[in-house]
Chains A and B, each alone.
Chain A
Amino acid sequence: QKEVEQDPGPLSVPEGAIVSLNCTYSNSAFQYFMWYRQYSRKGPELLMYTYSSGNKEDGRFTAQVDKSSKYISLFIRDSQPSDSATYLCAFLTGGGNKLTFGTGTQLKVEL
């Protein structure tokens, strides 16, 4: 079993749709949960960061963590064409240094 599972997509949605991106993980030692957005030929940009179960909201983005199910999600409301990018989930153990990444989900928001 892979440490992190993330559907690579591509996921295509119409503008204005609610997008749900998900990752499952198997390592119980992960304590920090992140979502990065990466545009083509650019470095990843940190979108959301959390360390507890529950929801965290920032503008149109909501990160959800369910530690009991080992499942994290990123919701994007009112999606825009500018949200078209690859979204990477990332995990960090407590006291750890190295991020463990999902493979990334490619999202395309169409007009």
Chain B
Amino acid sequence: GAVVSQHPSRVICKSGTSVKIECRSLDFQATTMFWYRQFPKKSLMLMATSNEGSKATYEQGVEKDKFLINHASLTLSTLTVTSAHPEDSSFYICSARGQGTSGISTDTQYFGPGTRLTVL
């Protein structure tokens, strides 16, 4: 149990284009989903927290107009990087927090496999 998927796993795009990353909880419902960014050999940096049906809460310094988050259902959240630039190249990871389904902890996060974004 507690499987989170991300799609795509890798994307290369041209500067100025927008990229959408999907995060799905496959076998549980997630009250809250999180988006992280990770630079090489660094720990995870939380970008935003989203709850189903409401606006995301962004961490300080994260541009909400650049990183659009939509949490349309209890199993799906999307991150759209708008007008991507080379400095947005990074490893983006989502996580989901369970809703109390049997066997799934509600006090921790389950992570997706990550999406590597390269902006040329």
Contacts and interface: CB of A to CB of B under 8 A. Distances in A.
Contacts of B6: 43
Interface residues of A, number: 21
B108 A92 contact: yes
Contacts of B46: 98-99
Chain B interface, DSSP helix/strand/loop, else mixed? strand
B64 interface: no
Given A32-B107, A92-B108, A42 B2 contact: no
A99 B49 CA distance: 11
Interface string A50-90: 01000000000000000000000000000000000000101
Interface in A26-46: 32, 34, 36, 41-46
Given A42-B114, A46-B110, A101-B44, 15 more contacts: A32-B107, A36-B111, A41-B114, A43-B95, A43-B111, A43-B112, A43-B114, A45-B111, A46-B111, A49-B107, A88-B44, A97-B49, A98-B34, A98-B49, A101-B43
Contacts of A104: 43
Contact of A32 (B43, B44, B108, B116): B108
A99 B109 contact: yes
Interface residues of B, number: 24
Interface in A84-111: 88, 90, 92, 97-99, 101-104
Interface in B46-99: 46, 49, 91, 93, 95, 97
A69 to B, nearest CB: 22
Contacts of A45: 111
A102 B108 contact: no
A46 B2 contact: yes
A44 B44 CA distance: 9
A90 B108 CA distance: 9
A97 B97 contact: yes
